[in-house]
Structure 1
Amino acid sequence: MIAPRAQRINIPLRHVAIMCGGMLFALLANVTYLQALGTEQFEEDPRNRRTMIARFGSPRGDILLHDGTVVATSIRSGDNAFRYRRVYPTGPLYAAVTGHFSMYGTAGIERAEDAVLSGSEPRVKVRGLVDGTRGGATLRLTIDRAAQRAAYEGLRAVGLPGAVVAIEPGTGAILAMVSYPSYDPNLYATFDGARLDRVDKRLQADPRDPLLNRAIQRNYPPGSTFKIVTGGAALGSGRYGIDTPVSAPAVLRLPGTATHLRNAGGAACGDGTPSLLSAFKLSCNTPFAQIGIDLGQDALREQAERFGFDADLDVPMPVARSIYPTGMDRAQTAMSALGQFDTRATPLMIAMMAAAVANHGTLMRPYLVEDVRLPDGTVIDETESAPYRQALRPAEADRLVEMMTAVTGPGGTGTAAAVPGVTVAAKTGTAENTASGRDHAVFTGFAPVAAPRVAVGVLIEGGGFGGRVAAPVARAVFRAVLDRHAE
């Protein structure tokens, strides 16, 4: 009697036991998943205070300029929870490059090279385990201190939003990257959450966009600086030489429209049939629009892509795409040949155009990080310069050098960029801006022509004529770099 009754009682107990066993198995499986595979999502969750504290528990790697100047470092904070605080000794001057490191996020190089700087990169972590050191690796940048300051002070003197990029043509090393207005990264180094929120909201809401890196995060109509691309396509077609007469009427009716295109100020271009070199020197619109119509959008696009348009790029920070439009009619193609319509370029790309010409048509891949060093000084990574695009054949580049050199000579549009005793090659631009109605001032060029040391791209929002407003900023950067090499 007892056995059958016990068996009847054990049936529901058995079901409960099976259910509990299943739940226990599911719990163990979930814990195993979280421990083995799901940690990353919790580590990245901003609500995870433990991870946040850990990121400030050891010193982050320094960020140095090419000459060893410290532009970002970690110091003891005196806080028991957040032991190290990030410090930016030069404030806004290098913000477009360094970005910032805070409790709630990173920007700039701090974000792009976070693994190396934090010490989580495998090679850095392994070395730390071997020798017992804590902290991240040091980044040495390509930035030239004098060039960066000259660019920043030049933009600040103008007082309008803009950007400057300087590149060493033979290597692709970025010598200066400035966006104005800037911000002080030290404002983000606080451990006071309420204060950090106030700072971030204020900077995010600022209509001047100080957090925006205009040098690489925004593209603009390049205006007449794009005539480097159009000129390169013309020379590469075999139909034009620098002495070839080009049709340059005072007014050109765009095909299929009632719109009339004029040169700057409505002036005539020479005698109406100037040479290609003269039209480039004077930055005439009608002859280059006609060249664009004659060559067609496919030829212009192919040439633009050789300079890096329509391609993704990082330096290592991601760069917004520079764009040459598709599906245009002949009138739109004419305007695109002048760097208008939907043609867009970042200030970095504007500098890259001149750098390619300066380097006999070979565009080197631009880069910001020179090398990475462990706390003991061991170099674990070093950037080697490498070709990025063959933008032009050497002969075509040489002809463009002649055309660009004329721009800074007597009667050219870029005389304000001329440096006494130095031959400078350049192209100015005034880009229409339909959003505000105020034209952007644009400039690109390189110096010295015989042995190029620096190529510069300048864009100033609402600045007007590039030859008047942007060219003097470029000249200051030229002088800063060339003076350093003369020492």
Structure 2
Amino acid sequence: MNKPIRTMSVFCLFLFLALLLNVTWVQYIKAGEYNDSGLNARVKDETLSRERGAILVAGRPVAESRPSDDRYKFQRVYPYRPYLYAPLTGYFALARSTLLENSQNKLLSGDDDRLFVNRLVDLVNNASPKGGNVSLTIDPAAQRAAYDGLAALGDNVQGGAVAIEPSTGKVLAMVSLPSFNPNKFADHDTAAVDAYDKAMQTRADKPLQSRATKIRLSPGSVFKLVTAAAAIESEGYDAESLVPGGPSYKLPGTNISINNGGRSCGSNQIPLTQALEQSCNTTFLALANQVGHEKMLEQAEKFGFNNGNLLRDFAESEQSASSYPTGDISDDFLAKTGMGQQDVQATPLQMAMVVAGIVNDGVVMRPYLVDQVRSPDLDVLETAEQEEFSRAISPSTASELRKMMVNTVDRGTASVAQIPGVRVGAKTGTAENCAGCQNYSWFVSYASEGGQEVAVAVMVQKSNASVVSGSGQAGPIARAIMDAVIK
């Protein structure tokens, strides 16, 4: 073989090897990245042309795919009160998805390993693959009660509500207002979707962010349950133990005094149950300093504070960690944490978990939304397993806290939560906002009757009310939710 031919042969060999390397790189090493890329029009077209599975509440689809007569074979539709369920379902759009549409995407799109047999049958029958279905834990009556109660507070309302079954962690209701219309995101008109997305993204009231799981606010006096738990656990108190009361408390190292707003908090020492019933600031300021920062932090974190992954079926990016300060803080700041102020922030999900743990003898279960995974033919493939999040307090501490919460309803600030014939415990809260801003209204509660139990947290960030209080805005909503569950 002469030299020119040999040179050309070697050159062709290198070209062939380069081609093999490129094919290996594209088809094997980078395949997953290209397949998941939002810029991959082929995958996008294939996904939108497949019958995506439904999201079900009590057997009723709140998200489903219907045949379409455009370039895509199916249209994603949110057929039943889309604003009610949008903070759960999220949306499935041309280029992206959120919330359950995102976290359950593999199953809904049909790519989940649990649907392997179904895909195999479809292949043999030359049928188009279908996605699986997810059944949620949501109680539709509780969900409607939460949404309608918040909506009744006015057109500009901002708030969130969560209800949990304490013994399992099932989320029975999760609502956020303002909400959005997921059908507008599912539109196949890209320009229309982009316009709606821009409108939602630029709104000051942040309708795309769940006020149940994402927006953190000062919890105010509902956090006194955590302070009371820390005091009972570390100091050996019970409901009748005498604790500091009095009309005012001077913050250590300052000339600032905080009072009780005219509530009945005695002149010196009072029973702990009276302090919770009357929401005595002086008591919980003093208790936070008495317990100390280390034990206050430990107790808050046992309930879930400073953990950004509480809800099992949402991506971590769709949640925010409720916070209790972890670094060194002065005694005056520590005191204010005892009443849910001074860098303490919480979501309604977090405060519902606190109450659920108290109801469940101190055991906090991890909240979850997906109850069952079903095949395209609605056969049950998997039922969710309950998961223990933590043992936050002892059973005896939980018992004392329940007793005090019931007293708060029967003879204290939370009487609005009373339901005839039902054992109800609650705690009100009003948290300070910026100077000149409307305060936040909180209400946490539980109801127990005939083997049914529910823990509820309601937060109203903004409403049309001229006077703000936990019992005034959030309390009636919590009562309606409990009433819907305890039928």
TM-score (structure 1 length as normaliser): 0.92
Report the equivalent of 2:136.
Answer: 141
Shift of 1:370: 0.6
Letter in 2 for 1:275: P
Letter in 1 for 2:245: A
Structure 2 contact 311–366 (Cα < 8 Å) conserved: no
Shift of 1:379: 1.9
Q: Secondary structure at the match of 1:356?
A: helix
Matches of 1:435 and 1:106, distance apart in 2:
38
Letter in 1 for 2:461: E
Shift of 1:378: 2.8
Letter in 1 for 2:290: D
Structure 2 contact 87–175 (Cα < 8 Å) conserved: yes
Report the equivalent of 2:402.
Answer: 401
Query: What RMSD over aligned residues (CA atoms) do the two structures have, in Å?
Result: 1.9
- Decide which of 4, 24, 31 is 1:32's aligned counterpart: 24
Letter in 2 for 1:304: A
Shift of 1:460: 0.7
Report the equivalent of 1:427.
Answer: 427
Matched, 1:468 2:451: no
Structure 2 contact 263–278 (Cα < 8 Å) conserved: no
Q: Secondary structure at the match of 2:410?
A: coil
Q: Secondary structure at the match of 2:217?
A: coil
Report the equivalent of 1:3.
Answer: none
Gaps of 5+ in 1: 1-5
Q: Which runs of 4+ in 1 moved over 4 A?
A: 13-17, 449-452
- Identify the range of structure 1 (107-116 vs 337-346) with the bigger mean alpha-carbon deviation: 337-346
Matches of 2:435 and 2:122, distance apart in 1:
57
Shift of 1:14: 4.7
> How big is each residue's C-alpha offset from its partner over 1:203-237, in whole Å with a ceiling of 9 and x where there is no partner?
11122211111111122211111111111111112
Shift of 1:288: 0.6
Matches of 1:466 and 1:369, distance apart in 2:
31
Shift of 1:451: 4.5
Shift of 1:16: 5.4
Report the equivalent of 1:330.
Answer: 331
Matches of 1:416 and 1:269, distance apart in 2:
21
Matches of 1:19 and 1:250, distance apart in 2:
92
1:140-289 correspondence runs (5 A): 140-159=135-154, 160-263=157-260, 265=261, 267=263, 269-289=265-285
- Identify the range of structure 1 (140-149 vs 335-344) with the bigger mean alpha-carbon deviation: 335-344
Report the equivalent of 1:299.
Answer: 295
Q: Secondary structure at the match of 1:162?
A: strand
Letter in 2 for 1:456: V
Question: Percent same amino acid among aligned pairs?
Answer: 39
Report the equivalent of 2:353.
Answer: 352
Letter in 2 for 1:470: A
Matches of 2:151 and 2:250, distance apart in 1:
40
Letter in 2 for 1:288: F
Letter in 1 for 2:351: I
Letter in 2 for 1:50: R
Matches of 1:152 and 1:195, distance apart in 2:
27
Letter in 2 for 1:96: P
Report the equivalent of 1:480.
Answer: 484
Letter in 1 for 2:272: L
Matches of 2:381 and 2:397, distance apart in 1:
40
| Larger Rg, first or second structure (1 or 2) | 1
Letter in 1 for 2:53: G
Q: Secondary structure at the match of 2:79?
A: coil
Q: Secondary structure at the match of 2:276?
A: helix
Letter in 2 for 1:473: I
Letter in 1 for 2:274: S
Shift of 1:381: 1.6
Letter in 1 for 2:429: G
- Decide which of 96, 99, 105 is 1:114's aligned counterpart: 105
Shift of 1:255: 0.9
Q: Secondary structure at the match of 2:212?
A: helix
TM-score (structure 2 length as normaliser): 0.92
Shift of 1:259: 2.2
Report the equivalent of 1:88.
Answer: 78
> How big is each residue's C-alpha offset from its partner over 1:57-110, in whole Å with a ceiling of 9 and x where there is no partner?
211111101x2111111100112x210011111211100110110101101100
1:27-106 correspondence runs (5 A): 27-65=19-57, 67-79=58-70, 81-90=71-80, 91-106=82-97
Structure 2 contact 264–278 (Cα < 8 Å) conserved: no
Shift of 1:257: 1.9
Letter in 2 for 1:467: S
Change (3 A) 1:271 1:255: closer
Matches of 2:119 and 2:312, distance apart in 1:
27
Change (3 A) 1:323 1:257: same
> How big is each residue's C-alpha offset from its partner over 1:17-61, in whole Å with a ceiling of 9 and x where there is no partner?
534432432232012210112122222332321111101121111
Letter in 2 for 1:56: L
Matches of 2:346 and 2:10, distance apart in 1:
66
Structure 1 contact 358–452 (Cα < 8 Å) conserved: no
Change (3 A) 1:355 1:306: same
Matched, 1:129 2:120: yes
- Identify the range of structure 1 (429-438 vs 243-252) with the bigger mean alpha-carbon deviation: 429-438
- Identify the range of structure 1 (445-454 vs 158-167) with the bigger mean alpha-carbon deviation: 445-454
Structure 2 contact 247–267 (Cα < 8 Å) conserved: no
